Structure 1
Amino acid sequence: MRTQSLGADKEKLQSYLNHKMRVLCSDGRTFAGIFKCVDAHKNLVLSDTTEWRDGFHRQVGMIMVPGEHIKRVLVENLEYV
C-alpha cells in the first residue's frame, strides 16, 4: 500500500512542473524557484532559485534539494511559468 501512496505523491508533485515553488528545508533554509523535476528519492530540482537563510537572501540559480532534507513544499501559484 505504501508504494501506491508514494507513486500518487510523486504523480501529484509532477503535476506542478514549471510552477513557482517554495521549499522549506530541515536546516532552516528556504528556496524559491521554478520546479523542474523530481526523482524516485524525492529530490527536487529548481531553476531561477533564491535562497533565504537567517534573514538574508541570494540568487543561487539551478539547484537540487535532497528529498531527505525537505520539510514542506508550497506551490506559490497555479499558473505555468
Structure 2
Amino acid sequence: MAGKNTRMQQWLQYRVRVAIKDGRKFVGTFIAFDKHMNLVLADCEEFRITKGKGPDKQKVELKRTLGFIMLRGENIVSFTAEAPPAAPMVPYSMGGPGKATPAGRGIPIGMARPAQPGMPHLPQGAMPLQAPMRGLVGAAPMNMAPQQTPVGTMPPRPM
C-alpha cells in the first residue's frame, strides 16, 4: 500500500479545492505539504458563504483573491482535485523567410573532405576543428600538405 506521502505527491501542481473547519473553501495550485498536512497553495482564492441582509436573507457566496497561502493541516476537512496541471508552454516561433539552421563551427557537411588515414576516430567526412596543442608552433604537417582540387573544378590561376 502506498504511503500518505506518495498519495499527496501525486496531486502536486494540480488545481485543488480545500475545505476547512469554519466552512471556508480555498481553490489554488497545490505547491507543497509537510508531515502535519500543512498545505501551500499558489494563486489562491477564498470562497465563503454568508447570510444576505434583508427580509429574504439568501445565502451569498463571496470570493476573495489571496495569492500565496499556507493552510494549517489541523483545520483541513477535505482536499479535492479540480483540474490537472497546466501543460508546459512550448515556445513556437512564427515561420518566416529563410531556412532555420543551427549555428556551428567549420565548413558545411556537404563540403567536408574524406577522413584522413591517421584519424580513424573521426567520422567519415568530418574535419578536426581544434587549435594546435599548447606550445606547438605552426600548423600540423597534415594541414600543410597541398589539397586536391575537387573533380569538375579548375585549378586556381597562377599569378
TM class by shorter chain equals: 0.7 to 0.9
Q: 3-state SS of the aligned residue for 1:80?
A: coil
Aligned to 1:23: 18
Structure 2, unpaired ranges of 5+: 50-60, 87-159
Matched, 1:63 2:69: yes
Q: Taking every aligned residue pair, what percent have the same amino acid on both sides? A: 36
Structure 1, unpaired ranges of 5+: none
Higher RCO (Cα < 8 Å, 6 or more apart): 1
- Structure-1-length-normalised TM-score: 0.86
Count of residue pairs the alignment pairs up: 75
- Structure-2-length-normalised TM-score: 0.45
Letter in 2 for 1:71: V
Deviations 1:60-81 (A, max 9, x none): 000001100000000012x213
Greater helix share, structure number: 1
Deviations 1:10-39 (A, max 9, x none): 211111110000000001110000000001
Distance 1:30 1:57 in 2: 10
Distance 1:10 1:67 in 2: 14
Q: Select the structure of larger CA radius of gyration.
A: 2
Greater strand share, structure number: 1
